[in-house]
Chain A
Amino acid sequence: MSQTSITLLFELKRHKGRFYIFTLISLFFITLSGLIPNLINPDLLPDTFNDFASSQLSFINFIIIFASFFFFGAIIAEEFQYKTNLILFPKINKLKLIAGKFLGNIILFLSVLSIYYLYYLILGLIFFQQISFEFFLSYLFTLLYGIAVSTFILAISSFMRSVLFSIIISFLLLFV
Chain B
Amino acid sequence: MSISEIPLIKFENLTKDFGQIRAVDNFNLEVYEGEIIGLIGPNGAGKTTAIKMLANILTPSQGRILVKDKNNKLQDVVTNPKILQESGFLIDIPNFYEGMTAYELLKYFAKLQNYPKNMVESRIDEVLQLIELFEWKHQKVKIFSKGMKQKLGLAQAIIHDPQIVVLDEPQIGLDPKARIDVRNILKDLQKNGKTIFLASHMLYEISEVCDKIALINLGALLEFDKISELEKKLPMHEIRCTLLDPIESKDVGPILSMLEDKLNPYLIEASTYTNQQHHILYDPSIQGLKILYDGKDDTQDKILTTLKKETDLKIISFFTPKTHQLERIYMDLIKRDEVKRRKK
Contact = CB atoms under 8 A, between A and B. Distances in A.
Interface of A: 1, 3, 6-7, 10, 13-14, 17, 82-87, 89-93
Given A83-B92, A84-B97, A91 B109 contact: yes
A159 B189 CA distance: 41
Contacts of A7: 108, 112
B23 to A, nearest CB: 16
Contacts of A82: 95, 98
Contacts of A13: 100, 104
**Shortest Cβ-Cβ A-B pairs, 10 listed:** A90-B55, A83-B95, A86-B91, A90-B89, A10-B108, A91-B112, A6-B111, A89-B57, A84-B95, A82-B95
A165 B93 CA distance: 24
B150 to A, nearest CB: 12
B104 A92 contact: no
B81 to A, nearest CB: 7
Interface in B57-99: 57, 81, 84, 87, 89, 91-99
9 contacts: A6-B111, A84-B96, A86-B57, A86-B95, A87-B96, A87-B156, A90-B89, A92-B112, A93-B81
A42 B147 CA distance: 62
Contacts of B56: 89-90
Interface residues of B, number: 26
B92 A14 contact: no
Interface of B: 52, 55-57, 81, 84, 87, 89, 91-100, 104, 108-109, 111-113, 153, 156
A120 B99 CA distance: 33
Given A17-B99, A90-B55, 17 more contacts: A1-B111, A6-B108, A6-B112, A7-B108, A7-B112, A10-B108, A13-B100, A82-B95, A83-B92, A86-B95, A87-B94, A87-B96, A89-B57, A90-B84, A91-B109, A91-B112, A92-B112
Contacts of A86: 52, 57, 89, 91-92, 94-95
A118 B104 CA distance: 32
Contacts of B112: 3, 6-7, 91-92
Most buried by B among A6, A13, A17, A86: A86
A14 B100 contact: yes
A2 to B, nearest CB: 10
B16 to A, nearest CB: 16
Contacts of B94: 86-87
A123 B153 CA distance: 51
Given A3-B112, A13-B104, A85-B57, A90 B95 contact: no
Contacts of B113: 91
Given A3-B112, A87-B94, A14 B99 contact: yes
Contacts of A91: 109, 112-113
